[in-house]
Every structure is written in structure tokens, then in C-alpha cells.
Amino acid sequence: MTLRPMRLVAIGCTFSLVLAACGGDDGGDAAGAATSAAAESVESDLDGSITVFAAASLTDAFDEIDAAFEDADPGATVEVNHGGSSALREQILAGAPADVFASANTSNMDRVVEAGAASDPVDFVTNRLQIAVPAGNDAGVTGLADFADANLLIGLCAEDVPCGELGREVLDNAGVTPSVDTDEPDVRSLLTKLEAGELDAGIVYVTDVTAAGDAVEGIDIPTDENVTVTYPIATLDDAGNREVADAFVAFVLSDEGQDILTAYGFGTP
């Protein structure tokens, strides 16, 4: 792929010519070995570190993308700061040092762009919502109507983060007024309480249910009541290392990056 280290072909060719001139039947094998060694000795053009601000729902996928990117470009280092997209947006607008922003919705990215902190964001994945219950579903939750039951412990994300805004939109689509016991700052905080059995039900992303494995169970939301959310990504205008930041964004958009995201349950825009 294009982000892999650049190789100095001319060096390899020189070694091949010299070795080929030196000897008989083994010259080809020796030349190939020398060419390979010379190529492997050339390091990536990318160098330096970047900080990526990414939505909490991207945690597991971006951990793998981070590792794959650093493996492809050993001179580059990525630190990922995960959180609610609205909180990350405010940190960026307040001047927090960040190079890339990956938001769980377009509205938070739009505000970053409007403030002059980023330009030309690209949509890179989609996601949908799902009801999550602790393993075993002891409360017997079957659908969105149960979120109106005051006898159940119900959790949503806070209204100002994408999963909270969208969760309430889904409930409104279903004509349900929820009896909410806790508003969590981001989807991973909500998922943690569901995994621990501290709540009977919550609304998270499909990808979070997938990431939780056997710790939670997912209950599908009817298509006509559910929503699809689009995630944009952009290099920030004040990026301290624009070359590495642009390369990271390109990696996320590449076939390899998209394959990783798809494996975690994300859809394509």
C-alpha cells in the first residue's frame, strides 16, 4: 500500500549488478539477498508523533489501526485520545494539541470546521444503534418500550454527545418517553455499566455490543425507528506534524484501514 516505507530501488539495483558480475550460478541468489537486505535497511520517510482525538466508539478499531499504521511506518508514533465527540470538539477549539479529529457525527466536525480548526473532512465509516443489556438479560428487556419502565435501571449517553442525541432520537421515533437513571459522558462509560450489570438496558452503537463480546447482549432496533450515523475524519489545521497526520488519515481511508473498521462492525459511508 502507498503508506509502506519507500525503498531506494537504485541501491538495490547497484548491489545486484555488482554481485552478478562477481560470480557464477549463485550470483542471482546472492544478488537477490543483497537487494532485499539493502531495501530493508532503508527506513520510512515518515517521522515523528501525532495525537489523534477520536470518538469513544472508535476505541477498539483505532487501537488496531494505530498498531497497523506504526507497523507500516516505524518512524511514526500515534497517541489516541478517546472521548465523547462534543468534549473532544471543545478541547480542540480551546487549543488542545491535536493533529487529527475523528468524530462520531458530522455536527461536531462541522463546528470545528466553522471555527477554522479543520478543513475538508472526509466521511470514513457509518454506525447504527442497538439496545444493550447485561449478559443473561435478567430484566427481560425486549425492546424500546421497556425504556419507559420506571422499575428498570435505564442508561443513556448524555444529550450533548452523539450516542445520547441519537439514542433519544430513536426513542422519539418509537414514541417512547424514557425513564432515565443515568446519563453517561460517552458510550464507553455506558457500556462499562452495562457490562458490570449496574443497568438493565442502554442504547449504544452496534460496534460497542460487538466489542463487548459475551459481557452484553444486543437487541435490534427496528429499521424504521433506528438511525444511521456518519463519522468524518480530518487533519487539523494546527497539526504539529501534518505529514504524519495526513498519512494517518490516508491509512484510515485505505483498504487496510477500512478492513479493520469493517471487522469491528462499522459500515461504509
Output the 3-class SS for 149-174. Answer: CCCCCEEEECCCCHHHHHHHHHHHHC
Question: 10: Cβ–Cβ under 8 A, 6 or more apart, which residues?
Answer: none
> Does the structure show a pLDDT above 90 at 243?
yes
The three grid cell numbers given for residue 30, joined into one nine-digit string: 546472492
At residue 23, the pLDDT reads 43
Q: Could you tell me the residue ranges of all domains in the chain?
A: 9-41, 48-126+229-263, 127-228
Buried b (16+ CB within 10 A) or exposed e, 211-223: bbeebbbebebee
The three grid cell numbers given for residue 148, joined into one nine-digit string: 419507559
Domains 48-126+229-263 and 127-228 share a fold: yes
Stretch 211-220: mean pLDDT, rounded?
96
Residue located via cell numbers 475524519: 233
Residue 221, φ and ψ in degrees, nearest 5: -100, 130
Instruction: Please give the mean pLDDT across all residues of the chain.
Output: 87
Q: Which fold has domain 127-228?
A: D-Maltodextrin-Binding Protein; domain 2 (3.40.190)
Question: 196: Cβ–Cβ under 8 A, 6 or more apart, which residues?
Answer: 134
- Label residue 20 by pLDDT band (50, 70, 90): very low
Residues 199, 197: Cα–Cα separation, whole Å: 5
What is the pTM for the complete model shown? 0.79
Distance set, CA 152 to CA 170, 218, 239 (Å) = 19, 17, 46
Stretch 67-85: mean pLDDT, rounded?
96
> Does the structure show a pLDDT above 60 at 80?
yes
> Does the structure show a pLDDT above 50 at 86?
yes
DSSP lists the bridge partners of residue 127 as 229
Stretch 166-185: mean pLDDT, rounded?
98
Q: Which fold has domain 48-126+229-263?
A: D-Maltodextrin-Binding Protein; domain 2 (3.40.190)
SS3 string of the chain? CCCCCCCCHHHHHHHHHHHHHHCCCCHHHHHHHHHHHHHHHCCCCCCEEEEEEEEHHHHHHHHHHHHHHHHHCCCEEEEEEEECHHHHHHHHHCCCCCCEEECCCHHHHHHHHHCCCECCCEEEEEEEEEEEEECCCCCCCCCHHHHHCCCCCEEEECCCCHHHHHHHHHHHHCCCCCCCCEEECCHHHHHHHHHCCCCCEEEEEHHHHHHHHHHEEEECCCCCCCCEEEEEEEEECCCCCHHHHHHHHHHHHCHHHHHHHHHCCCECC
> Does the structure show a pLDDT above 50 at 242?
yes
Residues 91, 73: Cα–Cα separation, whole Å: 28
- In the chain, the percentage of residues whose pLDDT exceeds 70 is 84
